Amino acid sequence: MAKKTIEKKITLGRDAEGKLIRRNVRGHSKAEIEKKTFEMRQKWLMKSGRPDNEMSFITYARHWYQTTKSMKSISTRKMYENVIEKHLAPALGDMYFDEISLSDLQGILNKNFDKYETCNKIRLTLRQLYEAAMDDDMFMKKAANVKKLVIPRKTKTERRAFTDEERKAILEADFTDRQRAFVWTLYYTGVRREEALALTASAFDFANKTVTISQTLILDGNKAIIVQSAKSSHSLRSILLPDKYIDAVRDYVKSKEGLIFDMPRTPGAPMTDTSFRRFWQTISAKLSVIAPTAAELTPHYFRHDYATRLYYSGITVKMAAKILGHADTTMIMKIYAHLDEQKENVLERLNKSL
């Protein structure tokens, strides 16, 4: 029986007119394909005068990732790995830095132009890669000017406080004890979703009416990992708990030994992304029975609503930032400035009407 032939298309470089030079490599095994690819690349290198030890763009990108990003947080590592393997590697193949044009890089961004965050991550990674490559004296006589890359404008996401109907739903929906504990934790503390999902029974001090944020949940794909630290040093904090909240969740919290929002069928295990989505869909459906607009709410809306209530309670920007666990007041200032503007508009309309 004849062996099956494997074929792979590789990029050698560019011709005098700037067009990509691509060749097909055939063999009967991956090892044979790799050997022929290496030999073909070596011949091209000798012909083009490129140093024998020069790395292709993707080889260098992977090396850079391993040496500079592998010790970062899980979410940061996944971000860079995703950009390199999902967006850069398929588009650039075996090309070298000086063979990659600005239009090649812009083409990668154009494929994702409807996704601001993705484009921003790709551009950030490319800028860091090119800076590192220059520092490492890579062969870059015709390096693309990545500073000229264009990404889409960020679409402003309008966060808002809850309507009266939505507040009623939050307080009166037909939740289970577990669902109510989660929703009310978001509503009465303003914690991030990943902070709420990492809460343990020992974090609650009902005698002193506080809950301490000291760890967070990180998602690696669908794998959930509890990190024994908060998002930043400023995220390590204690939050005062209202009596109404304590009365509603005390018994549920005391019934748990570790994580209070663990996997339903695996006690003590943190919730995976899939499990949380199902959990939230059920919550959303129950909220929507009372307030149809609640269908669009996400856990982050609760945080914004909490910040809004801090504003109307008269709490200072600095104290609000501390309660919410922000490193500085920048984000709070934006919310407060927006609310100040709304208040002024209301007063202006009242003055005109009166």
Please write the tens of the pLDDT for every residue from 310-346.
Answer: 877 777 777 777 777 766 666 666 666 655 555 555 4
Examine the pLDDT at 50 and tell me if it is beyond 60: no
From the list 323, 196, 194, the residue with the least C-alpha distance to 249 is 196
Residue 297's pLDDT is what?
A: 92
Residue 120's pLDDT is what?
A: 92
Examine the pLDDT at 353 and tell me if it is beyond 60: no
- What pTM, to 2 d.p., does this model score? 0.62
Label residue 39 by pLDDT band (50, 70, 90): confident
Judge residue 33's burial from the number of C-beta atoms within 10 Å of its C-beta, 0-12 exposed, 13-18 middle, 19 or more buried: middle
Q: Sketch out the chain's domains with CATH numbers.
A: 1-53 (no CATH), 55-155 (1.10.150.130), 164-329 (1.10.443.10)
Residue 347's pLDDT is what?
A: 52
Cα four-point dihedral sign 162, 164, 166, 172? positive
From the list 72, 68, 71, the residue with the least C-alpha distance to 132 is 68
Report percent pLDDT > 70 for the chain.
80
Residue 262's pLDDT is what?
A: 95
Q: Please say whether the beta carbons of 183 and 177 come within 8 A.
A: no
Q: How many C-beta atoms surround the C-beta of residue 214 within 10 A?
A: 18
Cα gap 109→119, rounded to integer Å: 6
Residue 308's pLDDT is what?
A: 81
From the list 137, 41, 39, the residue with the least C-alpha distance to 97 is 137
